[in-house]
Amino acid sequence: MSLYSMLKSAGPSGFGYGSTAEQVTAGLELSGRTYLLTGSNSGLGLETLRVLGLRGAHVVAVARTVDKATAALTEAGSAGTPVACDLAEPASVRACVAAVKALGRPLDAVICNAGIMALPNLQRQHGFELQFFTNHIGHFILVNGLLDLLTPQGRVVMVSSGAHRAAPKTGIEFDNLEGQRSYHSWQAYGQAKLANLLFAKELSRRFEGSGRTANALHPGVIATNLFRHMNPVLRVLFGLAKPIMLKTTAQGAATTCYLAAHPDAAAITGQYFADCNAARPSKLAQDTALARQLWTTSEAIVAGLA
Ligand SMILES: NC(=O)c1ccc[n+]([C@@H]2O[C@H](COP(=O)([O-])OP(=O)(O)OC[C@H]3O[C@@H](n4cnc5c(N)ncnc54)[C@H](OP(=O)(O)O)[C@@H]3O)[C@@H](O)[C@H]2O)c1
């Protein structure tokens, strides 16, 4: 536990910066519940898988390959079903949707946790910048494909980031989604994470009148594989900051577990959470017109994919 987390107090939810996923789910009985989780094989996803399993849930553990998902379930010691899904490959996402439908299990929550960050050079997939495509478009296809399975009180949880503030000035650069005009690694990550937030916001609006919810969150800053593209100097500084500032993985998975499973979060929707409490995202993340424009653009992108 870092020095900083020892100094921070809990917020209105009763949890805070220092809370762990085990603490926010203490006493919860999740037997009979099913959670679908992307990025289940590493970092925050693996801890989320472990803790949901610990509370008795069945987790549909999604990873790039079945082998990775199976290994994650074994490592976490959780009961669940391994399913393959490469979020950067629409055919793979659609196959995942079909496989999950075939399980015939209603989903209590879909947790979109997988992500890539700050790729140093522009990479494209199906013509689009890879972070936007993986983090947003992949999850857009997945969640929309699974909506029929979501229970009437089902929750969609988008693991976004405080780095959504690094998005371009206009938020989503609809005229630069291929990176054809310019590419900045952190700005592209910020745009993709802003897209996660806007997606949750628009989905929440579409859920109005139902018992379903959609929220986004910042998990904190945690040393995971996510930082593999970081330049070596920053990586050293990051290592030094770890005992002072950074969250542990156990703390990093707490806000996800709170929004996905805690009874107090059942009616919360359209919100951005950090440290297990409601937080204020950037102005752009609150822009409902931008959220709608992203949704219609994403639909058009998906319709044009093979
Ligand atoms: N760690 C932080 O400080 C931090 C801060 C803010 C937000 N976040 C967010 O938290 C989430 C989890 O990150 P983490 O820190 O746990 O990082 P991580 O350890 O690198 O885990 C990322 C996960 O995403 C998966 N993934 C990446 N590309 C994929 C693809 N094309 N298809 C399917 N799965 C893919 C990875 O699979 P492979 O192992 O196969 O690559 C891995 O399971 C991310 O959305 C990240 O943006 C993290």
Q: Which of 17, 183, 258, 272 is catalytic?
A: 183
Best of 38, 44, 48, 221 to mutate for ligand 1, by most ligand atoms within 8 A of CB? 44
More confident residue, 255 or 241: 255
Model confidence at 6, pLDDT cuts 50, 70, 90, reads confident
d(CA 106, CA 120): 39
Nearest Cα residue to atom 8 of ligand 1:
161
Give the confidence band of 277 by pLDDT, cuts at 50, 70, 90. Answer: very high
Task: Tell me what the mean pLDDT of segment 126-144 comes to.
Answer: 98
Residue 295 amino acid letter: W
Is pLDDT at 145 greater than 80 in this prediction? yes
Tell me the pLDDT band of 231, cut-offs 50, 70 and 90: confident
Where do the structural domains in the chain lie, given as residue ranges? Answer: 3-301
What's the pTM value of the predicted model, to 2 decimals?
A: 0.97
Structure tokens given for 60:
């549909």
> Whole-angstrom distance between the N-terminal and C-terminal Cα of the chain?
46
Q: CATH topology for 3-301?
A: Rossmann fold (3.40.50)
Catalytic residue status for 183: yes
Residues 6+ apart with CB under 8 A from 75: 46, 50
| Residue 201 alpha carbon to ligand 1 centre in Å | 21
From the CA of 209, how far away is ligand 1's center (Å)?
32
